[in-house]
A and B are shown apart, each in its own frame.
Chain A
């Protein structure tokens, strides 16, 4: 069975600073990897996903993530954070592209200082 850890419960960065959110997964085969964002009072929005191919994946809102098989990681990055990026971020791993088979990480809450 797959599992996901997000080591950072809460991260605070200043607006304009770079961001990296960590995600480590455990899965025996090639995983399907996802990052979602949840703003307060909202549902989840898919930022990006990785199935195969280029290990650097571009997503929406200026986010990117890099798949590193040797480290079982799929870290999310953004070069310059905006105040509107303050939200909760969830990493998910699945054996396919179907959400019913996902395991979500516990989430990382991002705060942005003006």
Chain B
């Protein structure tokens, strides 16, 4: 069974731009969660989608948003990028929210 895939793996953007990251969960998994990982703040939960609905949300500004499609694939969008948004963005999928399987992440660099 294929694991969680994230695209792109690396991304460079300029301040003020917006970015969309994609996550394809393990087949059959309906929950997708997103995390931000930075050296200063560590791993922080962004949000979780289950059956196309946002079920949980972390403490991030509204510039961070996401959605989930009927095939469980999920996208995360960050608008008006700031330098501090440079991070590794991890996606995790699970059947129902627990027992999470993580993807390799997307490394976003904002210049």
Q: Contact check, B90 vs A100: say whether CB atoms are below 8 A apart.
A: no
State whether B102 touches A105 (Cβ < 8 A): no
Chain B interface helix/strand/loop/mixed: strand
Complex alpha-carbon distance, A40 and B90, angstroms: 13
Q: Which residue of A lies closest to B56 (CB)?
A: A100
A10-54 vs B, CB cutoff 8 Å, 1 = contact: the mask equals 000000000000000000000000000000011111100000000
Q: Count residues of A near B (Cβ-Cβ below 8 Å).
A: 18
> Is B45 a contact partner of A43 (Cβ separation < 8 A)?
no
User: Chain A contact residues: over half helix, strand or loop, or mixed?
Assistant: mixed
Complex interface: stretch among B11-19, B62-70, B72-80, B91-99 = B91-99
Complex contacts, B90 vs chain A, CB 8 Å: 43-44
B25 interface hit (Cβ, 8 Å): no
Instruction: Pick the contact of B45: A41, A44, A102 (CB < 8 A).
Output: A102
A48 to chain B, nearest CB (A): 13
| Residues in chain A within 8 A of chain B (CB atoms) | 41-46, 90, 96-102, 104-107
